[in-house]
Amino acid sequence: MPESREWLTQWLRDAHAMEEQAETMLSGQLSRLDSYPDLSARIRTHLAETKEQARRLKSCLDGIDEGSSTLKDAGAKLTAMAQSISGVFAGDEVMKGSLASYTFEHMEIASYKILKAAAQAAGEAEIARVCEQNLREEEAMAEWLKDNLAQITEIFLARADADSRNAKR
Side-chain half-sphere of 2: how many Cα atoms within 13 Å? 8
Strand, coil or helix: 17: helix
Choices 37-45, 46-54, 96-104, 144-152 (CB under 5 A): range interacting with Mg ion? 46-54
Q: From Mg ion, Fe ion, none, which one binds at residue 20 (CB under 5 to 8 Å depending on kind)?
A: none
**Residues 114 and 57 sit within 8 Å (Cβ to Cβ):** no
8 class by beta-carbon count within 10 Å (0-12 exposed, 13-18 middle, 19+ buried): buried
Q: Residue 36 carries which DSSP code?
A: -
Q: From Mg ion, Fe ion, none, which one binds at residue 39 (CB under 5 to 8 Å depending on kind)?
A: none
Q: Which of residues 28-47 bind Fe ion (CB under 5 A)?
A: none
Q: Convert residues 51-90 into a mask of x (bound to Mg ion by CB under 5 A) and - (unbound).
A: --x-------------------------------------
Q: Which of residues 101-140 bind Fe ion (CB under 5 A)?
A: 108, 138
- The reply to whether 105 sits near Mg ion by the rule CB under 5 A is no
Q: Tell me which residue of 79, 106, 83, 111 sits closest to 96, measured CA to CA.
A: 83
Q: Residue 150 carries which DSSP code?
A: H
- The reply to whether 108 sits near Mg ion by the rule CB under 5 A is yes
C-beta of 40 vs 153, nearer to Mg ion: 40
Q: From Mg ion, Fe ion, none, which one binds at residue 98 (CB under 5 to 8 Å depending on kind)?
A: none
C-beta of 136 vs 159, nearer to Mg ion: 136
The span from the CA of 78 to the CA of 85, in Å, is: 11
Binding site for Mg ion (CB under 5 A): 19, 22, 50, 53, 108
Binding site for Fe ion (CB under 5 A): 108, 138
